[in-house]
A and B are shown apart, each in its own frame.
Chain A
């Protein structure tokens, strides 16, 4: 069956047109160089900020004994959360046989790979002694959730990388003869990475099998990484973290930020890469519905997370909730909950709002709010420990992020953008062979009728 894919004229014709559309963007042009240059310069500034932190210690951040986890940990949670979308799109929707995700699956995997790769690095920036990172492997104790986190985040990264790479192999084979004028190293890389793909029946069969195994494998893995991440908090006896629903609360939230990130990427590729033939209004309409659905689920978990303790008002829960709902985090809390969750859901129920541009704007707000949501989860519960914080300098009482830690945090975001840029500029962002096949079979159906 598979060998015959390109045998009919319709197939060949479609393959030519699809591949020329998609491969047009695989090139190292001026835009790419300028963009990477800007990122590299900005990154250099952030690395400089990090060297100050290395030299002087974590005291250059706003962190102190009371609030000892801040922006870095919030960013780590945010990155892990956003990377979860790879599993949602490729596996949950893909295994359910949803057809419209075909052109989006690779974009989702790019997001997953980039965010998962840098998440670990963010943790290192939070370490007091990053030089002792190898100790985690040399002296690791398996009852520590950090060990679980290291294990699953690494595994998730590699499986996501495979989920990006394996369906790319046929594309690389298609592309390697069509890359005239691209730099030699790129053509060589395609030659190497296409691992002698000749579209043989058996190769296709193996690929489908491998994908199926990985797509099933990544479901528990993705649940594990974010559940474990939530347990970094939920396994401590602190009011505000001490919650039994933290696992599902984090996972449902992860789908919100990840879907928003995919929508932003989709819009960018559609406009900049002129791919509106493949990323149609209909695709935005459908993923807009997905965003609405996952946001509604997240609202449900939010109600549980806040209403249940708010009804009982146990002493320390009460202090924590008062700070969030009416205290000095209230502004941020309500902005995040309303602007980042409730209002987007209301808007997304309107069909017009699921068109590409409005959806992009909604997603940008949702994604930004997602980061602040992690901040709200991480920071406030530490500011009111069971015993009072006394006899310390005033700046030790309340956490205020400094310029240096903001710069280091931006540095990690820049690294994510760099990975996304490389993956989407040096390799096709949409699956050429799948789309060609899809268009050809659609045409075939038409002809039959």
Chain B
């Protein structure tokens, strides 16, 4: 390397230094202006807040979710959507100390289908999509025909839960079998496994999909329903959480359904609202469960269709048409 080059290098260095220092100055100035404007804005904002407080409409007492009573300004009370997370957690846990059970008295069913309609309205289902369906049954040629409401049996040994690959369908501590349509992958193995054909699948966009879009998903109601996932009877888990009877049970005009807690040995008739002893009801009427031989241990009991209060009448065959979206 020769001297000439060295000289040139130092020249370049000098120019660079000069440029650098002017750049620093510039940044300093910008920083100052920036800081001043932030401070100004903050002052204006706090003044505005102070003015706003002067017109306060007072405070209100609110109970927080950890059970403290607190006072907050009225303006700061906001309606919030119940969070998905809360709904999911309580929905998966179930209600402690309970063992829900249903008793269906076949001697009273005359296929009014009010249970079906109430259920479909609550869960946003089409007329041919069922959580509960009333079936026309005949056990053998010489035995009489009868109508049988068929909800999910909420088995204590549920084949659907065993086969589910992703824990989308599960058994809660209170005996209810639920389906989480935020989790379901739509493989339909549970449908294949269920001997009671209790499950349905959303083959197309659900009926109220558009209207329900904004709602937070309630696992205990299974609304909003979702395309490509399973849906099923939930024993109206949302209603029992509020100490009410399931939709189908309270909709029945004929006193077919009893619902209650096995631990308390008490079930309530949805029509008469009369509460009776579960043991006595089952014992006095020769109760049975569906397909006992499969070992599924259902939580739904049936009372046989003897001494019927209605004649069996062939229901007029309604035609169901598939809606296409």
Contact = CB atoms under 8 A, between A and B. Distances in A.
Interface of A: 56-59, 63-66, 68-69, 123, 126-129, 132-133, 135-136, 138-141, 143-147, 232-233, 235-238, 382, 385-396
A99 B226 CA distance: 57
Interface residues of B, number: 49
Interface stretch (B183-191, B244-252, B270-278, B302-310): B183-191
A128 B166 contact: no
B320 A386 contact: no
A142 B119 CA distance: 34
Contacts of B130: 391
A436 to B, nearest CB: 48
15 contacts: A57-B204, A59-B324, A65-B197, A68-B188, A136-B185, A141-B166, A146-B187, A232-B189, A235-B163, A236-B193, A238-B195, A386-B195, A387-B196, A391-B320, A392-B128
Most chain B CB within 10 A, of A140, A392, A396, is at A392
A386 to B, nearest CB: 5
Interface of B is mostly: loop
A396 B188 CA distance: 16
A141 B187 contact: no
Contact of B186 (A56, A58, A65, A147): A58
A127 B197 contact: no
Contact of B201 (A68, A144, A388): A68
Interface stretch (B34-42, B53-61, B66-74, B131-139): B131-139
Given A58-B203, A135-B183, A387-B135, A141 B164 contact: yes
B143 to A, nearest CB: 14
A233 B192 CA distance: 8
B184 A128 contact: yes
B205 interface: yes
Nearest to A145: B163
Interface of B: 128, 130, 133-137, 150, 159, 162-167, 183-189, 191-193, 195-197, 199-205, 227-230, 290-291, 294, 296, 318, 320-322, 324-325
B185 to A, nearest CB: 4
B136 A128 contact: no
A147 B165 CA distance: 6
A135 B228 contact: no
Nearest to A395: B322
Contact of A65 (B167, B189, B191): B191
B163 A133 contact: no
A127 B185 contact: yes
Contacts of A396: 128, 322
B320 A392 contact: yes
Given A66-B197, A237-B195, A386-B195, 18 more contacts: A58-B203, A68-B191, A126-B188, A127-B186, A129-B229, A132-B184, A135-B183, A143-B162, A144-B165, A146-B163, A236-B159, A237-B159, A238-B195, A386-B197, A388-B135, A389-B197, A393-B320, A394-B320
Contacts of A395: 322
A128 B229 contact: yes
A128 B187 contact: yes
Question: Which 6 residue pairs are nearest across A and B when measured between Cβ atoms?
Answer: A128-B186, A128-B228, A59-B203, A59-B204, A146-B165, A144-B165
Nearest to B189: A146
A139 B166 contact: yes
Nearest to A66: B197
A393 B189 contact: no
A391 B126 CA distance: 12
Contacts of B291: 386
Given A68-B201, A129-B229, A390 B133 contact: yes
B313 to A, nearest CB: 16
Contacts of A388: 135-137
B325 A386 contact: no
Contacts of A145: 163, 189
